Amino acid sequence: MTTDGHPRTHLDPRYSDETATATPWPEAEKLLAGAELFCFSTVRPDGRPHVTPLPAVWSAGELHFCTGPEERKARNLAANPQVVLTTGTNTWDRGYDLVVEGEAVRVTDDGRLREPAAAWEEKYGAFWHFEVRDGFFHHGPGHAVVYSVAPRTVFGFGKGQPFSQTRWRFGA
């Protein structure tokens, strides 16, 4: 982190046009907050990758997602909490892609869960209304565990002229 609270930012000239500039972190945050769907990558206990699309919300400087406690992603995270979440567009010459690397940490405090629960409903509508109790999101007959991912490294890929690759590093 820099003294202004933003991550260290670096434009990689190997993958950027000469006229490209690094994307400011506040712009990347807006893209993360507005993204509707993320591809979520974990590693199975036997080392094979697992990727699945899912909605997520940006709240308090972290990405939050939920899953059933017996689903493959939850079982993978029990063995290895390292994750990658990607979002963007599936075009090569326009848009912006983001890749977030970090560690998924289970959120169990009901007070802390209320903010992402409200963010889910605000972002995705009433279908995504969650009741918070006993350290879970409750929706209909089921319940879900909630994880937060504080970014460790984020990569941004500007597509189209000018092409660019920005990296943001968090922490010491």
Which domains are seen in the chain, by residue range?
14-106+146-169 (2.30.110.10)
Half-sphere exposure of 30 (CA within 13 A, CB side): 6
pTM: 0.93
Q: What is the pLDDT of residues 47-88, one digit of tens each?
A: 999 999 999 999 999 999 999 999 999 999 999 999 999 999
Reference 113, options 139, 131, 140; nearest CA is 131
Q: What is the pLDDT of residues 81-130, one digit of tens each?
A: 999 999 999 999 999 999 999 999 999 999 999 999 999 999 999 999 99
Q: How many helices (H) and strands (E) would you count in the chain?
A: 3, 11
